[in-house]
Structure 1
Amino acid sequence: MKLDIIAGARPNFMKIAPIIAALEKVSDKIQYRLIHTGQHYDKKMSGSFFEQLGIPEPHVNLEVGSGTQAEQTARIMERYESLLLNRHSERSDNVAWESPKLETTFNGMSDWVLVVGDVTSTMACSIAAKKLGVGVIHVEGGIRSNDITMPEEINRMVTDSITDIFYTTSEVANENLRKLGHDESKIRYVGNTMIDTLLKNMSRLQKPAAWNNLSLKEKEYFVMTLHRPANVDEEA
């Protein structure tokens, strides 16, 4: 079986690490291409994650870069389609299509594409693949925020609407998919791969300098990251 694994943004890298580790154990049955779309391209949000999590170098980087939601979506779809149709060598853009790593795996169409989470790359590659008859596997399918103003919610809804197999993280996600009319046979409850990544890296965790500087005590503090527009755009 030929499988494309799509990773484009920081959350994706955390989620694909244990999947790739598992695939390496069945390489005689499943041949895969790891495709980095380049949605996140800064080393601190991309390259360093591959190094720290032990993820192999991608077979190809589509290098879509920054832009509006529509611009990124269009570039990802166009470039991934070129890869599937084996037309990438004809392109005149600056993508490193002649990657030596790409030459070590299959060319052209895959049998399945595996997408994770809810980023732009997830939706864009699902659409491009589905239009060419490639099966879509969605890891973290069925998750909903019920906030349609979130770009990620739109990505989830579109991706799930054309997914063939759902790998889910919770019974809540399973129920969301059932309510949408998806057949039970398409829903596979497998758990959260980010937990797998966390457990594998627990021994590498180090106490940050801020712990002592702030005189923190166990179970008496919270760590929060705020980045969604709804959380940070309005002054308190």
Structure 2
Amino acid sequence: MLTVDIIAGARPNFMKIAPIVHAIDADQSSIEYRLIHTGQHYDAKMSGDFFTQLGIPEPHYNLGAGSGSQAEQTGAIMRGYEQVLQTKPSDLCLVVGDVTSTMACAIVAKKAGIDVAHVEAGIRSGDRTMPEEINRLVTDAITDYFFTTSAKANESLRTAGIDDSAIFFVGNTMIDTLLKNIDRLRKPDFFDEQSLISGNYIVITLHRPANVDKPENLATMLNAIAESANGLPVIFPVHPRTRKNLEQLPQLPECIHVVDPQPYLQFIYLVKNAKAVLTDSGGITEETTVLGVPCMTLRDSTERPETVTMGTNELIGTSVSNIPPAMQRLLAGQWKSGQVPPKWDGKTGARIVEILKQLQVASQTRTNAA
């Protein structure tokens, strides 16, 4: 029996682990898992709702890391996971994405002599000022098995010296979750209250430090979006990181409507029916690509280049002067159409489980031979 610890801590993680959990449950094979919630996102709006909506079982462990600085969160997660492994070791630690929990649990597992598998390995932005980029680099430096979403990620790993035998191009588990739930989407409560019309509003999400940590920068960006929206409602589900700085602004443009972070099914409904999405999130650019919704990334780099080269996303940058011309093209109906990248087909979770089973057999063969 292969015992796998599946690590989740922040909002994006839950969409990524759900297909793996469901595939293991459906397979009823010789794999058992322990779902470990690090507590990096501890608010129900950021994590708790996802367990219910995505059909994920309650975690076997909740490390309760809570808030704090990068170092404080990392330390709390590492201490909590170390205690779990000291009580009962696992055979494999499976981490997803690029959040603090990903890196912290990978380090603890390797120091405990436990193999690490990284889902969404190999993606790179090239921007080391992003905490997520550091998390990716550190995690992949100690990972044993690399599950990738794109040919570009495979190439990045090979360039770093990773042998092909450890790289598995499986696709995108976040898209598994999207496709599985596309017929279950729910209209947000505020949708009718604000008289929103499908295809006639814009969604924005902002949480990167460069965009939100200085209130004056945040105000300038919001004003530029509002002024170029041509009167369309702009719906802004506000991340807790952003809200504290938003509250320092004297006034928001009239067309910008601030709402709470939305549960998964409501948020995807909002995105699917939007005219466009402006974001600094990587995962949302993947979802808009599959949904065929125009997307503008308000960053100077992206770790998901396939959403630009193949999908509906364009890298606008952090200069607000780039927003009006991009919005003009959108409103003129001149936005590009995209296509779905290879293996973003809803079957990634099943592919990962099949590979885990093969790895288990290979490991048992080596043990018997020894």
Structure 2 matches for 1:50-69, cutoff 5 A?
50-69=51-70
Quote the Cα distance in structure 2 between the aligned partners of 1:15 and 1:163. Answer: 18
Question: How big is each residue's C-alpha offset from its partner over 1:147-173, in whole Å with a ceiling of 9 and x where there is no partner?
Answer: 111111100000000000111111111
Structure 1: segments with no counterpart, 5+ residues:
87-107
User: Aligned pair 1:49/2:50, yes or no?
Assistant: yes
Quote the Cα distance in structure 2 between the aligned partners of 1:14 and 1:178. Answer: 27
Question: How big is each residue's C-alpha offset from its partner over 1:183-228, in whole Å with a ceiling of 9 and x where there is no partner?
Answer: 011111111111110111111113445378455353x554221111
Give the alignment partner of residue 196 of structure 1, picking from 176, 185, 205.
176
Please give the secondary structure, in 2, of the residue aligned with 1:115.
Answer: strand
User: Aligned pair 1:113/2:114, yes or no?
Assistant: no
Structure 2 matches for 1:155-234, cutoff 5 A?
155-208=135-188, 209-210=190-191, 213=194, 216-218=197-199, 221-232=201-212, 233=214, 234=217
1:128 aligns to what?
108
Q: What's the CA shift for 1:64?
A: 1.1
Structure 2: segments with no counterpart, 5+ residues:
221-370
Structure 2 matches for 1:17-96, cutoff 5 A?
17-86=18-87
Structure label with greater radius of gyration: 2
Quote the Cα distance in structure 2 between the aligned partners of 1:21 and 1:48. Answer: 17
Quote the Cα distance in structure 1 between the aligned partners of 2:19 and 2:110. Answer: 25
2:121 aligns to what?
141
Q: What's the CA shift for 1:25?
A: 2.2
* Percent of aligned pairs sharing the same letter: 65
Measured on the aligned residues, the alpha-carbon RMSD in Å equals: 1.6
- Higher RCO (CA-CA < 8 Å; seq separation 6+): 1
Number of equivalenced pairs: 214
Please give the secondary structure, in 2, of the residue aligned with 1:2.
Answer: strand
Q: Which amino acid aligns with 1:8?
A: G
Quote the Cα distance in structure 2 between the aligned partners of 1:66 and 1:138. Answer: 24
2:8 aligns to what?
7
Quote the Cα distance in structure 2 between the aligned partners of 1:27 and 1:58. Answer: 19
Please give the secondary structure, in 2, of the residue aligned with 1:85.
Answer: helix
Q: What's the CA shift for 1:230?
A: 1.5
Quote the Cα distance in structure 2 between the aligned partners of 1:191 and 1:175. Answer: 15
Task: Decide whether aligned partners of structure 1 residues 204 and 126 sit closer, same or farther in structure 2, where only a CA change above 3 A counts.
Answer: same
Quote the Cα distance in structure 2 between the aligned partners of 1:224 and 1:14. Answer: 20
